[in-house]
Chain A
Amino acid sequence: DVKVTQSSRYLVKRTGEKVFLECVQDMDHENMFWYRQDPGLGLRLIYFSYDVKMKEKGDIPEGYSVSREKKERFSLILESASTNQTSMYLCASLPPRGWGEQYFGPGTRLTVT
């Protein structure tokens, strides 16, 4: 079974802090994604990566950056956390030649106070 893990289930940070969210998958998938999910807004794509050291902006990249130094690991960085970044963050990976069967991690509920 594909396993996608995220570093924390719950996280509380203060405004202005630098926040790192980590995602690891164990199935050698090239493609990885970061989404945030908010009530009434659904899942929105922040960034995605097709390979090591490659990244593409999604629909809402402002205030975020990413890092993909190893194939299995995709990190989301909030350079200076703000209260409007309080959300559920979901990481997903996609198998080779997959046409969208993304596998999701358990999510990180981030609260910025």
Chain B
Amino acid sequence: QKEVEQNSGPLSVPEGAIASLNCTYSDRGSQSFFWYRQYSGKSPELIMSIYSNGDKEDGRFTAQLNKASQYVSLLIRDSQPSDSATYLCAVMVAAGNKLTFGGGTRVLVKP
């Protein structure tokens, strides 16, 4: 079992709809959770971080964390074609500053 798992997609959503991405992790000691966006041929850029249970909103993005169920999710509201990218979930385990990444979910927003 991979340490951080994501559905590879593609997740196809119409423009203006909500895209919902999920990520599960195996290490219960994980402390910090991140969502990165990666456009094709580009490097990942951080879009959200979340550290405690519940929701965190930033513009059109909402991250949700449930440590008891060991999942973290990302909602993208009012999806735009420019949101088409691969979204990487990353987890920091208790020791050190290493990040463990999931395989990424490819999102396609269709006009």
Task: Tell me if A102 and B43 are in contact (CB < 8 A).
Answer: no
- Chain A residue nearest to B45 (CB atoms) is A104
Q: Mark B95-108, 1 if CB is under 8 A from A, else 0.
A: 01111111110000
**Nearest CB of A to B85, in Å:** 14
Q: Mark A30-60, 1 if CB is under 8 A from B, else 0.
A: 0101010000111111001010000010100
Q: What total of chain B residues lie within 8 Å of the partner, measured CB to CB? A: 23
Q: How large is the interface on A (under 10, 10 to 19, 20 to 34, 35 or more residues)?
A: 20 to 34
Confirm or deny: B60 has a beta carbon within 8 angstroms of a beta carbon on chain A: no
Check A100–B8 contact: CB distance below 8 A. Answer: no
**Cβ 8 A contact of B97, one of A94, A103, A106:** A94
A100 x B103 contact (CB < 8 A): no
Contacts of B102 in A (CB 8 A): 42
Q: Residues of A at under 8 Å CB distance from B?
A: 31, 33, 35, 40-45, 48, 50, 56, 58, 90, 94, 98-107
